[in-house]
């Protein structure tokens, strides 16, 4: 599978076209809308989320509730577009209308793509960079991830995400018996944290940051269970699934680090406390005594739950503005405010679920077929039967 996204933060809509989704998959808008709503939630979000009520329109590739095998077009409208039609319109600006088109941006904000993108593409108005580099683009990545989750659900594969840390406050009590329990408990928390005491402290940290005109980041974790053994491959660098997951998580706006399993902790432990001992029984087949490697060995899934963490930096646009330089005058200034989230970590957990689910679903189809769900399901069952008795 593959997908492309198009659209700007204040443009008329956000669009994704998905190719390679098997035929005969039951899919309706609500399968996607549930995650779009989750992405807009979470404590610390700003005023934009009160304007937008994201709902997807399925414009192709689905007929009478089932996929046809053709490309799927998904669209999410920007309600705020009505206030930006002149600023963001596609038509050329008429003579004498320049003054009506306000909000030209010549002052790059530290931590954003503004300056680098302007230099790369030759834009004197950095709004051309800002609008596309905005995290608003993740709306349709979450939509694509909703399709991926629907595919995975047909094989009993479950996806869940939660927050491990915000602003230095770390969750301690994060044990759970299943991904379903993980998801239920994370959704019950305003900050998507399983630790109730830590949740309270995280909310306090977000409030403090907002009062100080500052922002804070954190760590999110995605867990996927019931994954077949052998997704990905050891034979070449670009076929290793753990590498693809790392790239997917790092591609999320403001993410600066990725761990799989115990991650960087492995550097501080002996091998006997890092690797997962292999077990076998007649009912389950091959399993592991532990899951320190997060469901991966040699770039392939082991059958244990996939565990991926991502680090999100604080949002760089602050009410306590940082210093920058105007590209026209070269004069120093204090950076302007384009958005007001003080913390988007809970929302980022939903985006992380989406991009990880996409890569796992894609690997599943690469291994077991693309054409129609019935054939793929038969291939997966045969593989699991053979792996159990291997």
Residue 317 annotated as binding site: yes
Give just the sign of the alpha carbon dihedral 189, 191, 195, 199: negative
H-helix or E-strand containing 15?
A: strand 13-19
CB burial readout 276-310, b (16+ within 10 A) else e: beeeeeeeebebbeebbbbbbbebbbbbbbbbbbb
Residue 288 annotated as binding site: no
CA atoms within 13 A on the CB side of 137: 17
Residue 133 annotated as binding site: yes
Cβ atoms of 285 and 77 closer than 8 Å: no
* Cα(124)–Cα(182) distance, integer angstroms: 47
Cβ atoms of 288 and 302 closer than 8 Å: yes
Quote the tokens at residue 271.
Answer: 């091998």
Residue 292 annotated as binding site: no
- C-alpha angle 298/303/307, rounded to 5°? 75
Residue 339 annotated as binding site: yes
Within 10 A of 375 (CB to CB), how many other CB atoms are there?
15
Closest CA to 191 of 199, 182, 179: 199
Residue 134 annotated as binding site: yes
Residue 63 annotated as binding site: no
Spatial strand order in the sheet of 306-312: 169-170, 158-166, 218-225, 306-312, 255-260
| Residue bearing tokens 């596309």 | 132
* Cα(157)–Cα(248) distance, integer angstroms: 19
Range list of β-strands (E), the chain: 2-6, 13-19, 56-60, 62-63, 66-67, 72-77, 158-166, 169-170, 218-225, 255-260, 278-281, 285-288, 296-297, 300-301, 306-312, 323-325, 332-334
Residue 314 annotated as binding site: yes
Closest CA to 146 of 354, 385, 370: 354
Residue 342 annotated as binding site: no
Q: Give one word for 55, left, alpha or beta, with left for phi > 0 and alpha for psi -120 to 50.
A: beta
Residue 316 annotated as binding site: yes
Quote the tokens at residue 20.
Answer: 């390679």
Residue 313 annotated as binding site: yes
* Cα(303)–Cα(231) distance, integer angstroms: 9
Cβ atoms of 70 and 61 closer than 8 Å: yes
Residues belonging to the binding site for FMN are 132-134, 253-254, 298, 313-317, 339
Residues belonging to the binding site for NADP(+) are 39, 45
Residues belonging to the binding site are 39, 45, 132-134, 253-254, 298, 313-317, 339
């Amino acid at each position: 599978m593959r997908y492309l996204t198009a659209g700007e933060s204040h443009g008329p809509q956000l669009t994704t076209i998905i190719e390679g989704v098997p035929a005969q998959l039951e899919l309706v808008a609500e399968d996607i809308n549930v995650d779009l709503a989750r992405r807009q939630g979470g404590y610390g979000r700003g005023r934009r989320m009160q304007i937008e009520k994201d709902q997807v329109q399925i414009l192709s590739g689905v007929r009478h509730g089932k996929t046809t095998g053709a490309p799927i077009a998904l669209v999410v409208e920007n309600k705020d577009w009505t206030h930006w039609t002149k600023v963001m319109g596609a038509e050329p600006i008429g003579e004498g209308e320049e003054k009506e088109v306000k909000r030209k941006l010549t002052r790059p904000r530290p931590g954003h793509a503004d300056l680098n993108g302007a230099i790369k593409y030759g834009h004197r108005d950095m709004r051309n960079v800002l609008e596309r580099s905005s995290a608003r683009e993740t709306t349709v990545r979450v939509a694509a991830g909703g399709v991926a989750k629907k595919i995975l659900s047909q094989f009993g594969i479950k996806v869940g995400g939660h927050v491990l840390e915000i602003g230095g406050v770390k969750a301690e009590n994060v044990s759970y018996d299943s991904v379903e329990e993980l998801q239920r408990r994370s959704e019950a928390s305003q900050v998507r944290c399983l630790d109730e005491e830590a949740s309270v402290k995280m909310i306090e940290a977000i409030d403090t940051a907002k009062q100080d005109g500052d922002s804070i980041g954190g760590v999110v974790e995605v867990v996927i269970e019931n994954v077949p053994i052998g997704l990905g491959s050891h034979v070449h660098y670009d076929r290793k699934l753990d590498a693809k997951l790392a790239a997917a998580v790092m591609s999320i706006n403001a993410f600066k680090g990725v761990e799989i399993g115990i991650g960087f902790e492995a550097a501080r432990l002996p091998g006997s406390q890092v690797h997962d001992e292999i077990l076998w029984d007649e009912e389950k087949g091959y399993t592991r005594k532990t899951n320190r490697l997060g469901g991966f060995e040699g770039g392939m899934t082991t059958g244990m739950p996939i565990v991926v963490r991502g680090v999100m930096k604080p949002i760089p646009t602050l009410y306590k503005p940082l210093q920058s330089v105007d590209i026209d005058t070269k004069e120093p200034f204090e950076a302007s405010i384009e958005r007001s989230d003080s913390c988007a970590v809970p929302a980022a957990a939903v985006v992380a679920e989406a991009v990880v689910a996409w890569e796992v679903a894609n690997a599943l189809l690469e291994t077991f077929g693309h054409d129609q769900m019935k054939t793929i399901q038969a291939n997966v069952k045969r593989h699991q039967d053979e792996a159990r008795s291997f």
